[in-house]
Amino acid sequence: MRAVATALFALSLLLCATGAAAQGFAAQVLPPRFEDRVEPGAVFRNVIEVQNASAAPARFNVRTADWVLDGSGEAIFDYALQPGSCRPWVGLEAGEIQLEGNGRKRFRFEVAVPPGTPSQQCRFAIMIEGQPQPNASGIMVSGRIGIIVYLNVGDAAARLSIAGTAVDTVEGAQVPVLSIANDGNAHGRLEGFIEATDAEGKRTTLVPSMLPIMPGTTRAIPLFPVPEPDGSLPSLSFPVRLKGELQWEKQRIPLEATANR
């Protein structure tokens, strides 16, 4: 959440999800993000589906924003045009969406990449914002949803590598954690299955967190056990031997290591 200073001391509740509700704000948006590719000089077009989950009519403002990830990995949005931003390439169908109760609309946007644009990643957000409403304290409150767009221009790509392994407590359980470096010029995510053998010889399948790894950064990516058929999560006795392959797009990353406390 970020406080937004206005004449009415309005508070904007940042809700990055497929659905949100704040003082009458009841928008549901699909998809929550776009990850795609476009060539220089071409136009990328796509559609967002916006639904009003309330029985009352609703009006939503639509605009773009730049964003960065903070230290905890949360997106921080900024409406001011940042240096190097690709938002001037973005066209929105309209600046406002009006929906009847429980209504829905397909909202179009496009990104016109200038000819000769060098390889890079165009990143921005499309913000769906509710109308400010007073809360019980009389403070003006509104909700908003940010749809993140990652658009690789030309041959932009992540270049991921494993910089180390560790063990950390994540969501109340100790799990192996990979330190992943990205030396490319686009974000990446880890996918795949890792076979783990713990100190007692028990075998477990692990999957990586889908947190984004931004270009030029190194990020800790936990490996979580796949739930048992009854829904319970296997526990691990350390050290744990890890073996398998992770991937993102065309890149394959073999893993053979030991995670120890």
pTM, two decimals, is 0.85
For residue range 49-75, list pLDDT tens digits in order.
Answer: 999 999 999 999 999 999 999 877 889
Give the domain ranges of the chain: 2-153, 160-259
Q: Over 80: is that where the pLDDT of 137 sits?
A: no
Residue whose C-alpha is closest to residue 156's, from 191, 112, 181, 187? 187
Judge residue 242's burial from the number of C-beta atoms within 10 Å of its C-beta, 0-12 exposed, 13-18 middle, 19 or more buried: buried
Q: Over 90: is that where the pLDDT of 2 sits?
A: no
pLDDT at 36: 98
Reported as a pLDDT band with limits 50, 70 and 90, residue 18 is very low
For residue range 26-46, list pLDDT tens digits in order.
Answer: 889 999 999 999 999 999 999
Average pLDDT of the chain?
89
Reported as a pLDDT band with limits 50, 70 and 90, residue 233 is confident
Q: Tell me which of 3 and 129 has the higher pLDDT.
A: 129
Which CATH number is correct for 2-153, 3.40.50.300, 2.40.30.170, 2.60.40.10, 3.60.15.10?
Answer: 2.60.40.10
Are the beta carbons of 205 and 225 closer than 8 angstroms? yes
* CA-CA-CA-CA torsion sign (124, 126, 131, 133): negative
Supply 258's token pair: 């030991």
Judge residue 42's burial from the number of C-beta atoms within 10 Å of its C-beta, 0-12 exposed, 13-18 middle, 19 or more buried: middle
Q: Whats the size of the chain, residue-wise? A: 261
pLDDT at 75: 92
Mean pLDDT in residue range 122-149: 85
Q: Where are the beta strands (DSSP E) in 39-159?
A: 43-52, 58-69, 75-78, 90-92, 96-99, 104-112, 120-129, 133-134, 140-153
pLDDT at 143: 86
Q: Tell me which of 142 and 9 has the higher pLDDT.
A: 142
pLDDT at 24: 56
Q: Do domains 2-153 and 160-259 have the same CATH topology?
A: yes
Element (H, E) at 170: strand 160-170
The residues, any chain, with a CB within 8 Å of residue 103's CB and separated by 6 or more, are: 51, 52, 57
Question: CA-CA distance, 208 to 105, in Å (whole number)?
Answer: 34
CATH of domain 160-259: 2.60.40
